[in-house]
């Protein structure tokens, strides 16, 4: 799992970084909000942990900018020393996925990360049942259809994972670009259409619907 950690307290940052790396995560550290925002836009992360009270931009400003300006849906946990409900309410209104008040036990962090991993299919080691006759194996970039294995491209795998995470919600090409590709890798919309066409040939047109002029919906 690729994790971004925004925490400007050096001692806490070191502690969390060491703990997350011990869990096998690939951790990128940021000590101010502007750096965290730019890094989240330049690279693709599975999860972000954002402290609220950080230099240049607060964690809440990073969250709001990602969600509102860039349609970035990276799962985010806010970390904060604030004990009031005002900041909690603001975080959830701006699309945070979870919220931890400091001080917290590392086991609590582990449990919340584990919950989001299951919710957003971040871990790739399991099978995902798409329908009665179709199983998705993300780790191997494969679909098992009527017990016959079909290989798919890495980005087709990532698009399918994203659709499954956001089932029955209309997703634009822009949102796919922001959440699957790093900035320097951005493809054309034609490339996205080719990937989706390939998935449709395997899954059926009724599974990935085109909402004309808006985007796609995974049923």
The answer to whether the CB of 216 falls within 8 A of the CB of 208 is yes
**For residue 165, what pLDDT is reported?**
86
Three-state SS string over 47-64 comes to EEEEECCCCCCCHHHHHH
Return phi, psi of residue 71, to 5°.
Answer: 55, 30
The predicted pLDDT at position 124 comes to 55
Domains and CATH numbers, the chain: 2-119 (3.40.50.2300), 128-218 (1.10.10.10)
- Determine how β-strand 76-80 pairs with β-strand 142-145: unpaired
Q: pLDDT tens, position by position, for the chain (219 residues)?
A: 899 999 999 999 999 999 999 998 999 999 999 999 999 998 889 999 999 999 999 999 999 999 999 989 999 999 999 988 999 999 999 999 999 999 999 999 999 999 998 888 776 557 888 888 999 998 889 999 998 999 999 999 999 999 998 888 999 999 998 899 876 677 888 999 999 999 999 998 899 999 988 999 998
Residues forming a β-bridge with 131: 134
From residue 217, how far is each of 5, 68, 168, 170, 210 by CA, in Å?
A: 31, 20, 6, 5, 7
């Amino acid at each position: 799992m690729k994790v971004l950690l925004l925490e400007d307290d050096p001692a806490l940052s070191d502690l969390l970084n060491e703990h997350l790396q011990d869990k096998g995560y690939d951790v990128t550290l940021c000590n101010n909000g502007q750096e965290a925002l730019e890094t989240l836009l330049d690279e693709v992360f599975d999860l972000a942990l954002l402290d609220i009270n950080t230099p240049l931009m607060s964690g809440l400003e990073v969250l709001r900018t990602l969600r509102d300006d860039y349609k970035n849906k990276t799962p985010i946990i806010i970390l904060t020393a604030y004990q009031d409900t005002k900041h909690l309410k603001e975080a959830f209104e701006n699309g945070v996925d979870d919220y931890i008040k400091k001080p917290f036990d590392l086991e609590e962090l582990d449990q919340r990360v584990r919950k989001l991993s299951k919710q957003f299919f971040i871990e790739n080691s399991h099978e995902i049942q798409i329908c009665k006759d179709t199983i998705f194996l993300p780790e191997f970039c494969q679909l098992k259809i009527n017990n016959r294995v079909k290989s798919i491209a890495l980005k087709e795998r990532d698009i399918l994972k994203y659709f499954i995470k956001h089932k029955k919600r209309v997703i634009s090409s822009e949102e796919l670009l922001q959440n699957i590709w790093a900035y320097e890798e951005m493809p054309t919309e034609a490339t996205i259409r080719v990937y989706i066409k390939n998935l449709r040939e395997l899954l059926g047109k009724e599974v990935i619907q085109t909402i004309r002029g808006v985007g796609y919906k995974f049923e």
